[in-house]
Structures are given as C-alpha cells and as structure tokens.
Chain A
Amino acid sequence: MRKKAAARFIVLGLAGVLSASMLTGCRFGFASDPDDPNEAKKEEPIDTSVDTYPYDSSLEGTEITLLNSKAEIQVALDKMGAEYEKKSGVHVEVMPVTDGDSPYTKVVSLYNSGNPPTMAILDTTDVVALAGEKALDLSGEPWIGEAPGYVTEIDGKVYSLPLCIEGRGIIYNKSVIEKTLGEAFDPASIQTQEAFAKLLDRLVDAGMEKPVSLAKEDWSLGAHQLQYIYETYDGTSEGAQQVIEEIKDGKLDLETYGRMDQFTDMFDILKQYNVAKGNPLGADYDEMAIDLADGKTAFWFNGNWAWPNIAEAGAESDDPYGFLPYYMNNDENDFANSRIQASPSKQVMVDGQYADAKQQAAAKDFLKWIVYSETGQQMLVKTCNLIPPFQNNPYEPLDPLSRDIYEKMRKDEVFNASAIVPNDHWAVLGAAMQKYLADRSDREELTAAVQDYWAEQE
C-alpha cells in the first residue's frame, strides 16, 4: 500500500511538472508573437483618382503568380495585386515564402516541380544564380533608365527589377542621446571611430550603462556586419567583387588587408558597449528594439527593415531616429566614415522558362505599372513602406529610418555597394562572428575563418 502511494506521488509530481511547463510555454509563446502580419496597422490612404497608365486590354484574364520573400509586405503586395487586377484585368496571385524556408530553396523546389512562379522577389545573389537558365532577359525594359546605378547587370544583361533600396548602419535614437547628455546632438559631428567611442564614453558617464545593442543573429553578424570588409574597399559593387576575387585567388592576404583590421576595431567597440555584454549570444532581437525605443540603449546596429520592430516597441514615425555610418577608422576623409551603405537588396525576377508569352507580357506590365502608374508608385512607398530606387517616384518614405536613407541618397551620403557572396556566407561566417562575439575566438581565428571560407570556394 505504501509502495503504491509512493508510486502515485512520483507519477503525479512528474505529470505536474510536465503539464505546468507546457501550459506556461503555450501562454508565453503565443501571446508575445511580435511579427503577426495580419495585425491591423495604421494605413496611409492611396489616392487612385488620377491614373494615366496605359493598360493593355489584350492581357485581360491572364493569371500570373508572384513569390514574395519579404514577409512584412505580404499583405501590402496582396493589396497591390488586387488594385492592379481591378485596372488591368490581370490576376496576380502573391505566394509567401513560409517561415523557415529560404527563398532560394522555395523557388528551386518550385522550378524542379515544373510549377515556378511567374515572378519572384529574391536577393541579388539568388538572381545571379538563376539568371542564365531561368530568368527572362529584361534588358529592354524602360524602367532601367529610371534607376541609374541601381540595376544589377549580369554579363551585360538585366534580369531583375530592383524593388527597393535598403540601407544599414548604426541606428541612433536622437532624443535619448540628447536627454542623457543634456545637449543637442548632431549626428554629422561624429566622423571617426574615436569620436564615436568618445560619445559612447560620455553616455556611460552620464548614466547609460551600456549604450549599444548588438544582434547575435548570424545574418546580422555574417552578412550585414562582416560584409563591410568587402563593401568598403572602394564603396562600389565592382570593388567588392574585385576584393572577393582577390581573396579567393589568394592574392589578397586578410592579415594585411586594412579593412579587416578596421572592421574588427569597430566591432570591438560595439562589443565593449554591448548591453548584452554578459551574455552576448543570449541577446534577444525583440528586446533590442524595446531597449532602443525605451532609451535603455541609444544605438542598435541594423537596417531600415528594423522599423516595424522599433515601432512595435512604442516609437512613433515622427521620432528622430537615423543612421550613423559604420566607422572604419579615424580618417575624416574616408568615405566609410561619412556615408552609410544603401543598395537595392530585393530584386524581382521574371520566369523565362515555363511562363507563356502572355504571362511574361503581363509580368513585365505589372513591373512597369509599379514604376510608372500613379497608384503603383504610391503603393510601393505608402502601402509596402519601401524606399523606391526609381527617380521618377515622387513619394517619400514615411518612417524615420527609411526617410533618413532617402534623404542621404539625395545628399550623396550613401555608398551603393553590395557584395555578391555565396549563399552560405552568412551562415558559415555568421557562426565565426558569433564565436568572436562571445569571446571564444580571437582576431586571428576570425580572420583565418574568413580566409579558409574563401579558400574552399571554387
């Protein structure tokens, strides 16, 4: 009898622990989901009264598909497709890339099953990989003239439309800095690594313990930060390509390549003032946005795509947020210290293998509609909240981060360089960067990891 009671006690205890952990898991896990795309948001009204776009009535009834790899604009793209269908009679089905799938994997599996999307929003690297065999040559499209410097050419041909400009750098919260220091803050006054470090010191002295948020995500570390070593070579995509080729061929030794050292210098500064310094690999992405909005930190290394998170954390779209450059050294005349990186990141490719002539024509027309119609222009900026690369688009972005990049583009304070790296660059070298971030490796090991990675590429 006593044995039975003991057995019951053990079983009860175990069941209790298990069900309790399950319940708490559920409650916390689902209630705090910050990225619900269906959430109602304030929406900018679109003025559709004026529409001078010449619709092609012969395309009516055509059905095309668009694979979307930018989850945050899924709802907006649906609306855009519906609006276009109303005017042109062409049905645009927007298919999302589900969480966990990479856009490239998705598009490749669709191709292998013989059912690819008519259009696909992809990263530049993916377009380069697919261009030769699958993509439709868009070299004759008129919008190429509207985006000088932002169109990607592959072997002298254009295979994709640059959908938006994205930029990255050190996001600052101006009001927090001014409140902490008790004086006006002019971002343009910081032009060197030293000046930036001094500013951080002053913030610490004024009571802000750790002023920087540093994401642990491999895409942030491996792609957005580490790629500065290629992109700041001379601030152009060609220069980045050249430096990559030289590293690959063993002509350029990273040990002696100045930008590598400069980059780690800057990264060390961010590391030193990291709010999650005690446990940098435990840093939580959503918490970083909250810290920045609440004023626990003043800086966050990220890009303009982080705005929805910051807004969710309580920031308003007229708050003074902006970007500082990723300071590489103490030379005030170095472009890297006064310009931020901004380039067309998402590209729309049209299928040239399976789509019939009518579908291809409809897809081309849809792209033209985005660039030239009054409605398309507005929706690209207001509904999708993107920075348009097209000079004929008169609408200005609405959130402070995109607006900052938009203004810097107009003032020539950005550099347009994007390095085309292998698809696993961010994952493999992101891990190496995480190791460095956690102080589990040193500078030499990090440099060696980059060198080894390139040595393995054919």
Chain B
Amino acid sequence: MKSNKRGKDFCIFALPGMFCFFAVVIVPFIYGVYLTLTDWNGVAKVKNFIGLKNFGGVMKDTQFWTSLLLTFKYVIAVVILVNLIAFIIAYLLTRGIKGQNFFRAGFFTPNLIGGIVLGYIWQFVFSRVFVSVGESTGWNLFGVSWLSDPTKAFIALVAVSVWQLSGYMILIYVAGFMGLSEDVMEAASIDGATGWRKMKSIVMPLMMSSVTICLFLTLSRAFMVYDVNLSLTAGAPYGTTEMAAMHVYEKAFTSRQFGLGQAEALLLFIIVACISGIQVYLTKRKEVEA
C-alpha cells in the first residue's frame, strides 16, 4: 500500500521534471558523445562511424590548445578580479552607508545587459571613444585601439567580463554579509577582535558558503565565455583572442567538422566539470556553521 502511494507521488512530482531533464540535458549530451565518433559534417544524411579518430584530431589541432591556454589565463584573471572586487564592494555596501541600495542596484545593472550588446557597446568605447580621447589628450595609452593589439585586446576582454560579472557576485556577497549573525560579530568585538583579525578569523569562515557559490559561478561562466568574446573581439586581432568555446563553435560550424568540434566541446566539458568539482569540494570543506 505504502509503496503504491510512493509510486504515485513519484509519477506526479518527479516524473515531469525528470522527463524534461532527460529530454533537454541527458539525451542531447549522449547524442553529442555519439557524434564525436562520427565524421558528420552537420548536414549529411549518413554519419560514418570513425571510432576515436576525432580525438586524435583534437590532439593535432594546435589552435585548440592555444585557445584553451588562453582560456585558462582568462579564467584565472576573471575569477580573481571578479571575486576580489565583488567582495570588497559588497563589504562596503553592507556597512550602512547612505544610498547603499541605490549602489547595489547600480552595480548590478551591467549584468542585466546581454553579453552581445555589452560587447558591441564596449567595442565602440575601445575603438572609437578611447581613441578619440587619446587623440585629443595625446595619451599614448589610448593612441591606438586596444582591440588591435593581442595583449591589450585580452586585457579589454577581461575588463569587460569583470565589469559585467561583478554585479551579480556583489549581490551574492551582500546577501552573505547580511546573513552574518550580529551576536557573533558583537562577541568577537568584545573579545577584542578588530580589523584584519576579525575579517580573517570570523567573517571569512562564515562567508565561505557565498565564496563557494561565487567561485563556482565565475569559474563556469568564464570557461564557457562566448558572447562577449564574439561581439567584443571576435577573435581579433588575427585569431589571438579566440577562446575555447568560440574555437569549438568555429570548428563545428565554420569549418564544418561537427565530429571534431563536438569532441573538443566534450573535452572542454570534462575540464570544466573537473575543475569546478574540485573547487566546490575544497571550498565546501572550509565552510563552518555559526
């Protein structure tokens, strides 16, 4: 009798969700894995099974490894900067200064603009506004468009991503700071903890759950960056700012090598899954209860 009811509950509550999950996540994923074993060009009726040849192709695709290395550099820069800036601003915005709600909303706004629009706006800023500022002031820094130099274009990409992502993370950190127990803070103050000591020994451990979420979100978002990459630099100058996700897309659709592109996508997935998994495991261990 009991198990019968359980079965009914499962059908009512879990089945629809599971069906959707299977239909839009699991099935396409398995189909994708299957595609890596074929030589499909994206349109042909027949898909020839070619075994692991595509993975051999991944090894030979030097451009993929270059773009993956660049993605790693980008991820490191973005994750550190976003979390540092977001943490500091969130800290400042929870200290009761005047108009802090207005500032919270203000910092969050860039996150509401889609990556594509944002990229185009900043492309204009970098290649026109900054250049004309450089022309009228004579500053060498803005003399030529940042987007035409590989290093500066990379910096531009990081800057825009940080600008966009920080707002979201600020929100999460603000929520974390608001949740800190006043009692604990007061107790720490009575015990004589101030400044850095209080931050390191009391605030940080209590904030670790927010840090876990923020690190995970920035990590996965930075690894999968595509929209800002496409609209801000599109890989220019001469393909030096092409990130892994963009390279995968180009391989599949522009070079018409679906199998190879899919194999690279799978590899990227495994790398991101492993790194985020390790990160969550490590930061979770540091979480404490108040």
Contact = CB atoms under 8 A, between A and B. Distances in A.
Contacts of B238: 281, 431-432, 434-435, 438, 440
A102 interface: yes
Nearest to B144: A279
B256 A129 contact: yes
A279 B131 CA distance: 11
A423 B256 contact: yes
A188 interface: no
B2 interface: no
Contact of A7 (B92, B144, B230, B255): B92
Interface stretch (B39-47, B75-83, B204-212, B271-279): B39-47
A9 B107 CA distance: 15
Given A281-B237, A432-B238, A8 B106 contact: no
12 contacts: A7-B97, A11-B89, A11-B93, A14-B107, A28-B125, A100-B230, A130-B43, A281-B147, A281-B236, A424-B250, A428-B239, A438-B238
B116 interface: yes
B121 A423 contact: no
The 7 A-B residue pairs whose C-beta atoms are closest, nearest first, are A281-B148, A282-B145, A25-B121, A279-B144, A431-B239, A434-B238, A282-B148
Interface residues of B, number: 46
A357 interface: no
A435 B150 CA distance: 11
Given A14-B89, A424-B255, 14 more contacts: A7-B95, A11-B89, A22-B109, A22-B121, A105-B253, A133-B44, A281-B145, A281-B147, A282-B131, A282-B145, A427-B254, A432-B238, A435-B238, A440-B238
Contact of A431 (B147, B163, B235): B235
B254 A102 contact: yes
B216 interface: no
A452 B97 CA distance: 61
B114 to A, nearest CB: 12
The DSSP consensus for interface residues of chain B is helix
B124 interface: yes
A427 B236 CA distance: 10
Interface in A408-458: 422-424, 427-428, 431-432, 434-435, 438, 440
Contact of B121 (A29, A108, A129): A29
A14 B89 CA distance: 9
B254 A423 contact: yes
Interface string B205-242: 00000000000000000000000001000011111000
Interface in B243-263: 250, 253-256
Nearest to A133: B45
Contacts of A49: none
Contacts of A11: 89, 92-93, 97, 100, 103
